[in-house]
Structure 1
């Protein structure tokens, strides 16, 4: 049984209050409406929820209040607990759920009471350093709620306790207190539900892209809902016109245009989906190379969007700076790249590439003179950190100086982290998507590599090869074992290809056979059950030329030339 400290318990309670949706998937978000401080008679409040026991209404952050108590700042004024009024937003229903959280500092307990029949009340308590969970509802589906408390809620709560590592609640490792911090989550949730009802089925009917349609539909609808809610807030003035740079399938542009906003989408390659959109959307999607400072946008554009814009991501804040003084931007980075178009090299090896790249993007935005806001979106993706560059922290009279500074910074970054393409200062995405299926490698290199793999498999089963013995098929090797036995130069020739070694083996399916658990063997030639009478043999038989015993099939039966 886990032994917990009081600090860990209150820290986990703070996380629960802000993130109740993490333990109940029916809930979209938690909104704290107000907090009441109880200076006396908290046990009476627990029994009858009497307003007479509430001594003070405060708007302090719950996390800060519990931190102050852990640091003995509230114990001297006689504070016995808090009453926190919550609004739980439902994912699928318009009506929200009201709830009350009673924090009892004396008993080290937390009671959750829900003003609906859908959710049952319960209590969590720290009893002699041990977590106790108790169902308070006398009716309802007790068995179902008990299972949820025991197998869903309790493990999650204990995980939150352990993640605090005995720190005070103000030193959580998370960079955010939840998601959607820049917008009203209630307005966002309502709009997102509406967009799904309005567009999801329509888009599903016309989607022909290779990407999983359900994933990109719901992700782009969520991003559209976020942007619209942001533009309707007090933080950002709605744009005269937007430009989605690297717009891909154009779905985000489609939704924003249909919702009444004016804007354009740009990408280096036209997608299949573009031709299926209505004409009023198609004419605002442009196939265009976006490179360095060599392009311009319509005069009314004052908001840039970078949605999983890959090589363009570090450029979005820079272009927002160099194109207009009054240009703002939204950026949701995914794959990390340098200004040169090369793969991003971490500046801080203690972080993941993604986390370090997010820090880098924020630094670039600040260098560009933006007031930079950072948020976490609610989308079906692990790359959810977004940046908004809203307004400038310098006057318009300083703009020319800022342009010189940022261009010098970009030039130094390109010099420090160049692209491997010789003589190319900036190499972003090519107009034509490169073929990466091991078919573009030099034939001599490819043939030598196939032979090496073939003899590795043949030698995996030691046999005496004679003309009269049974045809030897060799043994089995895993992909890892094959890679370990090949030269680094061999692997380097195919490492940039999608799938690498596995793709090569699949392409040579007449020679090799892929088995479960990433095992590989030689495929023994067999007589085809149904072969067209007019089969034309075009290629030499690999086994006839390279196997010590030749091909096991006769000239007539083999589909290759002997």
Structure 2
């Protein structure tokens, strides 16, 4: 039984039920120090945990597979997974084959069940046609086509894997723009699977293609009609807010928009579906004017060009709240939807992604610049232990190799000069990407930077393939050990166990380079 004072030890685990917490609302002792009940633990923790334990917080997302039969989905998914598992072995792209293959299998499964149930609901016998806008690797198009659904995929860049699918999979290299030349009047469904800048346009394109055209979008990156999406509701997560925006686009286009959550290995797994209209066909002209006004209002709300326009966070979705819109500019834009060689342009200023993707992942930075940043950050982490004598003393007693302290990315950035930060800002991911690229030296976990201790590297199910790549025979001893050269205590591993070379005499030529020089 617990007495008036409760002694807590670090090695003791206590089951914190409400009765225990009530008893803890008295004086308690830890490491010889008596803490009165007026401390945070006694005065606030009890009430907070009691509130959290009884609070029923509703999820901001739908339950998984809420719009289709789960039993059908499970059966079809297993069938397709078995059918297309060989794609994992022959995947030619640099992306993770297991993630991308099984994710597209799962999306295809969902669409097959959705379309099967739609045919039963509408009394249709013919399988639905589709176009996948921004189809990427084209695997989703390949699976749907193989399952008997007529369709094609369009993307701005051709992928190496396209050549593996065969002539029955129709893929086109083309940049889609929001104008009359990219309408699909004879297509039943438009698909946007991580379609980036096309995502908000897909409901618009579907609505203007034909009254019977439906859409399925799986939003990932956040884009508005004309560029990056700017947050407007700080009370919501950015992801939830963006889903609400795309839903609003669908509603303004006259769709009944439904939301579902897929079973895919991704943090962005909420899809939005528009398969029915909220208006009869004879009102098409009125609804189309509504769509145009909505698109123009959004562009006006995000421009800051004069005292007649305001910042985007002063506009609430499609309704203008305390926001002065330059109506003349809106009318001018509507009038500028003029005929071009391809047809009427819906919005000036839209930029599709580049056909040749720019590499901005810090890989193109000069090696000497990267080396300076790595040395600077490593010195910060190693010297941080000297500012904490108790931690340093314990480390010396238990282990003579200095592992350094961890620092947040913000703390690290504060120690770098402005010119370095500016240079890193021009790269996607910036400082964090550079540190992750130098995985031999650093480990970045939950926004904190650590010196990597290779003695603690143990393959797990999640990292087995990654560790295998790092320690592969082809790469063994082909690079110098950073710790052997720069760390004050040298490398924590022996020369025999370290995968990197302890000195130039241990360096081996990469097997990959040998194969390039002497092809068989």
Q: TM-score range by the shorter chain?
A: 0.5 to 0.7
Residue in structure 2 matching 1:493, options 417, 423, 428: 423
- Structure 2 residue 237 is the aligned partner of structure 1 residue 310: no
Residue in structure 2 matching 1:379, options 258, 264, 283: 264
Partner residue in 1 for 2:133: 245
Describe how 1:39-54 pairs up with structure 2 within 5 A: none
Aligned length: 348
Partner residue in 1 for 2:207: 321
Give the Cα separation in 1 of the matches to 2:180 and 2:304.
Answer: 18
Relative to its length, the structure with more strand (as a share) is 1
Partner residue in 2 for 1:514: 441
Residue in structure 1 matching 2:186, options 270, 285, 300: 300
Give the Cα separation in 2 of the matches to 1:204 and 1:456.
Answer: 38
Partner residue in 2 for 1:9: none
1:369–1:393 Cα contact (<8 Å) kept: yes
TM-score, normalised on structure 2?
0.58
Residue in structure 1 matching 2:505, options 514, 518, 529: 529
1:419–1:426 Cα contact (<8 Å) kept: no
Shift >6 Å, 4+ stretches: 161-164, 446-461, 475-479
Per-residue deviation at 1:163?
6.7
1:338–1:414 Cα contact (<8 Å) kept: no
Task: Provide closer, same or farther for how the CA distance between residues 448 and 515 of structure 1 changes in structure 2, counting only shifts above 3 A.
Answer: closer
Residue ranges of structure 2 left out of the alignment (5+ in a row):
1-14, 19-49, 306-346, 384-402, 444-448, 453-481, 488-501, 509-520
Give the Cα separation in 2 of the matches to 1:504 and 1:221.
Answer: 33
Give the Cα separation in 2 of the matches to 1:531 and 1:306.
Answer: 48
Per-residue deviation at 1:164?
7.3
Q: What SS is found at the alignment partner of 1:330?
A: strand
249-258 or 318-327: bigger deviation:
318-327
TM-score, normalised on structure 1?
0.54
- Structure 2 residue 283 is the aligned partner of structure 1 residue 403: no
Residue in structure 1 matching 2:351, options 402, 420, 427: 427
Give the Cα separation in 2 of the matches to 1:300 and 1:528.
Answer: 65
Give the Cα separation in 2 of the matches to 1:332 and 1:407.
Answer: 23
Partner residue in 2 for 1:232: 116
Per-residue deviation at 1:245?
0.7
Give the Cα separation in 2 of the matches to 1:503 and 1:177.
Answer: 33
Give the Cα separation in 2 of the matches to 1:176 and 1:455.
Answer: 43
Per-residue deviation at 1:393?
1.0
Relative to its length, the structure with more helix (as a share) is 2
Cα deviations across residues 131-168 of structure 1 (Å, max 9, x unaligned)?
xxxxxxxxxxxxxxxxxxxxxxxxxxxxxx9877345x
2:62–2:261 Cα contact (<8 Å) kept: no
Per-residue deviation at 1:424?
7.7
Give the Cα separation in 2 of the matches to 1:487 and 1:407.
Answer: 47
Cα deviations across residues 154-189 of structure 1 (Å, max 9, x unaligned)?
xxxxxxx9877345xxxx502566322221222222
| Structure ID, larger Rg | 1
1:239–1:301 Cα contact (<8 Å) kept: no
- Structure 2 residue 223 is the aligned partner of structure 1 residue 223: no
1:341–1:419 Cα contact (<8 Å) kept: no
